[in-house]
C-alpha cells in the first residue's frame, strides 16, 4: 500500500523491538504493535509509518489562522493534517482526527495525496506555501519532509504548526526545508503541562524551540490560557521572561482565550481581563509583540510599532484591513518589525 513506508529515525533493539526516535516519547515498540501516536507500527522488526500521504483535512487558509502574524502576512497557505497525535490534550479541538489510531476507518476517510499531487494542488490554488497543521505534523514526518523538499525547490514557504515534541535529530533533518516553527508552549510548569497533555517533559519542548530559533526558523509562540490550569501570573511571568531571554524580544507571543471543551468542559472561558493582564506582564518583561487571540475585534489582535506606537497591521479576524509596512519596517519610523515576507 502506498501509505505504508519504512520510517525514518528509529533503531532496532533486542527481541525484535524498535525504538522510535522521532518525538520526545521515544516509544519502544514490540513486534506488531504501535507507538503511542497510533500510526507507526513495528512490522517484522522494522518501524513503518502507516499514514504516508493520508490526509484527513485539506484547506486553503489565511496564514493568520495558524496563527502566524509576522510571517507572510495576508497570504493564503495550503493547509493539511493527517491522523493521530503523540499527545492527548484534555481540551483538543481536533480530537476526531488526533485521537484516531490507524484502522480501516482512517483509510476510508482519507484522501491519498502523493507529494506531486499535493504540489499540483498548491499551484492550482496559487498557494504561497504549505502548512502542516490540524494535528501534530511530527508524526507525519516522512511525508512532510518529502513535500517540503519539493516545495522549497519551487519557491513555496513551509510551516509546522507543532506541539514542539520533535527530537533534535528530527528537527535537524527537516531544518533545511522548514521556514516557520509555530509552536504551542502550553504551559511553563510541569504540573500545568501534565494537566493539559497527560505527560511531563515541558523542558524538551523549550529546548527544541530554542534549537529551531538558533537554526534560523521563524518562531511564533501560542499559549492557550486555561483558567485554574496555566493562568497564574507567576507562571505566565516566568514564561514571558523565558521567551524574551531565549527567543528574543520581538518574538510574537499569542495568548489565546480558552473555551470549554472535552475533559475541560467544566472550566469557564478565559476572562478577557486575564489575557490583558498576561499581555501587560509580557510587555513589562520586554516583549514587543504580544497578541490577544480568540477574541474577535480585540485591539491587541492588531500589530503596533514598538518604537513609535503606530498601528502597522490592522486585523479583523483573519483579514488584514490596513498594512503600514515597507520592506519589513514600520512605514512611519523605520523600526524593524520582525516580519518575514
**pLDDT for 200-213, tens place per residue?**
999 999 999 999 99
Average confidence (pLDDT) over 84-88: 97
**pLDDT for 304-331, tens place per residue?**
999 999 999 999 999 999 999 999 999 9
Task: State yes or no: pLDDT of 1 exceeds 80.
Answer: no
Task: State yes or no: pLDDT of 73 exceeds 80.
Answer: yes
Q: In the CATH hierarchy, which fold is given to the domain comprising 54-301? A: TIM Barrel (3.20.20)
Q: Exposure pattern of 304-315 as b/e (b: 16+ CB <10 Å)?
A: bbbeeeeebbbb
Task: State yes or no: pLDDT of 167 exceeds 80.
Answer: yes
For residue 67, whether the previous peptide bond is cis, meaning omega lies within 30 degrees of 0, is: yes
- Separation of alpha carbons 196 and 72, rounded Å: 31
Task: Give the pLDDT band of residue 120 (cuts 50, 70, 90).
Answer: very high
- Separation of alpha carbons 16 and 43, rounded Å: 9
Share the mean pLDDT of the chain.
Answer: 97
Instruction: Assess contact for 313 and 302: CB atoms under 8 A.
Output: yes
Average confidence (pLDDT) over 101-112: 90
Question: In the chain, what are the domain boundaries?
Answer: 5-49, 54-301, 302-341
Amino acid at each position: 500500500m502506498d501509505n505504508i513506508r519504512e520510517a525514518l529515525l528509529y533503531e532496532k533493539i533486542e527481541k525484535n523491538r524498535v525504538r522510535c526516535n522521532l518525538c520526545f516519547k521515544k516509544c519502544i515498540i514490540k513486534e506488531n504493535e504501535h507507538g503511542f501516536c497510533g500510526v507507526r507500527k513495528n512490522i517484522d522488526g522494522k518501524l513503518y509509518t502507516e499514514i504516508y500521504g493520508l490526509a484527513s483535512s485539506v484547506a486553503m487558509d489565511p496564514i493568520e489562522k495558524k496563527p502566524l502574524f509576522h510571517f507572510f502576512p495576508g497570504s493564503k497557505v495550503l493547509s493539511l493534517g493527517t491522523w493521530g497525535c503523540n499527545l492527548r490534550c484534555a481540551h483538543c479541538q481536533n480530537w476526531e482526527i488526533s485521537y484516531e489510531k490507524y484502522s480501516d476507518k482512517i483509510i476510508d476517510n482519507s484522501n491519498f495525496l502523493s507529494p506531486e499531487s499535493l504540489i499540483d494542488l498548491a499551484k492550482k490554488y496559487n498557494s504561497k506555501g504549505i502548512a502542516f497543521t490540524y494535528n501534530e505534523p511530527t508524526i507525519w514526518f516522512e511525508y512532510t519532509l518529502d513535500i517540503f523538499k519539493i516545495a522549497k525547490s519551487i519557491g513555496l514557504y513551509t510551516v509546522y504548526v507543532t506541539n514542539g515534541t520533535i527530537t533534535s535529530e528530527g528537527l535537524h533533518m527537516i531544518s533545511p526545508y522548514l521556514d516557520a516553527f509555530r509552536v504551542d508552549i502550553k504551559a511553563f510548569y510541569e504540573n500545568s503541562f501534565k494537566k493539559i497533555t497527560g505527560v511531563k517533559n515541558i523542558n524538551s519542548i523549550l529546548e527544541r524551540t530554542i534549537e529551531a530559533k538558533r537554526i534560523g526558523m521563524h518562531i511564533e509562540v501560542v499559549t492557550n490560557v486555561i483558567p485554574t490550569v496555566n493562568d497564574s501570573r507567576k507562571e505566565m511571568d516566568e514564561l514571558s521572561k523565558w521567551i524574551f531571554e531565549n527567543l528574543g524580544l520581538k518574538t510574537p507571543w499569542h495568548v489565546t482565550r480558552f473555551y470549554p471543551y472535552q475533559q475541560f468542559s467544566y472550566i469557564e472561558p478565559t476572562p478577557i481581563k486575564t489575557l490583558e493582564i498576561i499581555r501587560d506582564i509580557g510587555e513589562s518583561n520586554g516583549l514587543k509583540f504580544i497578541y490577544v487571540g480568540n477574541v474577535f475585534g480585540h485591539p491587541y489582535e492588531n500589530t503596533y510599532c514598538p518604537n513609535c506606537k503606530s498601528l502597522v497591521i490592522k486585523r479583523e479576524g483573519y483579514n488584514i484591513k490596513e498594512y503600514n509596512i515597507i520592506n519589513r519596517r514600520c512605514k512611519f519610523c523605520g523600526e524593524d518589525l520582525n516580519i518575514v515576507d
